[in-house]
Amino acid sequence: MPEPSQLLQLLRQHSPAQAVLSSRAGDRGLADEARFPFLALVGQVEMKLALILTLINPAAGGVLLVGPRGTGKTTAVRGLADLLPQIQRSTCPNGCEPQAAEVEGMNGVCPACAARLIRGETITAPDRMRLVELPLNARLDDVVGGIDERVALEQRKVRLERGLLAMADQNLLYVDEVNLLANDIVDAILDAAAQGLYTVRRGPLAATYRARIVLVGTMNPEEGQLRPQIQDRFGLRVLVRGLTDSRDRLEVYRRVSAYQANPYALRANWAGETLAAAAEIAEARARLPQVKLTSPVERAGLAWVKRLGIDSHRAEVVLFEAARAHAAADGRAQANLTDLRAVAGMALRQRRSRFMDDYLAAQKDEEREIASVMRGKAQRSRR
């Protein structure tokens, strides 16, 4: 077998933290953020792989990390901020994009953007993808948007303000403790995730915002179950357990100690690997449109879904898109069975429903009874 790409090797890398422990941290006098480096997480290869694949191919459907406290779920997600790729973002206050003009003509964009496009100018600019975090105590107006209270008080005008879902357009939306969200907020996220946009109405005012979000969530099942509707919106599902090897757990302790002693030194210690991984992710995203599935891969994936008795068609969508992302990460333009096996667990677990199985089985009994009654009526009519 050929060696995996540098990106896939980095996910498995170990590095000592002794040099960081021996250095001293200066007093910066600021409450600025020094995130724990994503690649400095020990083990947890499947968790890191799932998060990297969703950066390469958002069509894989986002990631749900399920596991007990203290296993690095939140640390991993927040560490992704250093690896986020660049995207093309609209420079128009109205969010106009060139694709709208291509599909709908100049009526699909505002007059100012139409004039710029006619002059041959661009209406987008490169910008880095962002990590937008949804606080657990967020109100519905915080999430979808509402009346701008500052403008209302200061200027006596009523104006709608964007919510977190609109701010998360083309970004990662991270929901910690996703199973504890209020139902109205879950409904808003589901609506936005399904359509890629949503509409806010406050009295006579209405505004429609784009919300093409990549959803990443973490949860501890001890604290409550996740509603099936929102669980179905997560493409890849990872069960995160504590490490079992004593050497790995000791390395976790050393890196955490190094981070607490001097977070900036630890980040500097991993800066080279982080830059290399970010560059590889960008290259994989550029390669992704050329990555194809072979017929044996398609047949195998569909057979696995059928044998598992999974009803949701999202299963094969996620399975195949994740396999394409894995091939792109490995520098190839064709996804093979190795790619499919690498992502199958993440893509197919937790997709069966015992309730639906029992419900459909009961329905089959009723269908047979109806058919039996109809046959009996037909026999009497012939007599």
Give me the residue spans of the domains in the chain: 26-85+129-288
Residue 46 has pLDDT above 90, yes or no: yes
Q: Which residues contact 117 (CB under 8 A, 6 or more apart)?
A: 98, 101, 106, 109, 123
Residue 18 has pLDDT above 90, yes or no: no
pLDDT category of residue 162 using cuts at 50, 70 and 90: confident
- Per mean pLDDT, which range of 200-204, 236-240, 286-290 is the poorest? 200-204
Residue 153 has pLDDT above 70, yes or no: no
Structure tokens at 334: 């064709």
Q: What is the pLDDT of residue 22?
A: 45
When pLDDT is averaged across residues 273-280 and rounded to a whole number, the result is 92
CA–CA gap between residue 117 and residue 101 (Å, rounded): 9
The conformation of residue 123, written as its DSSP 8-state character, comes to S
Q: Which residues contact 132 (CB under 8 A, 6 or more apart)?
A: 164, 167, 168, 171, 172, 173, 174
- Per mean pLDDT, which range of 140-144, 157-161, 267-271, 280-284 is the poorest? 157-161
How confident is the prediction for the chain on average, in pLDDT? Answer: 83
pLDDT category of residue 168 using cuts at 50, 70 and 90: confident
The conformation of residue 225, written as its DSSP 8-state character, comes to P
pLDDT category of residue 105 using cuts at 50, 70 and 90: confident
- Per mean pLDDT, which range of 116-120, 124-128, 305-309, 364-368 is the poorest? 364-368
Q: What is the pLDDT of residue 150?
A: 58
Q: pLDDT for 87-100, tens place per residue?
A: 888 888 777 788 87
**What are the residue numbers of the active site?**
314
Q: Spelled out in words, what is the top-level CATH class assigned to the domain 26-85+129-288?
A: alpha beta
When pLDDT is averaged across residues 104-122 and rounded to a whole number, the result is 82
Q: What is the pLDDT of residue 21?
A: 44
Q: What is the pLDDT of residue 63?
A: 93
Does this model's pTM top 0.85? My answer is no
User: Could you tell me if 61 and 312 are in contact, meaning their C-beta atoms sit under 8 angstroms apart?
Assistant: no
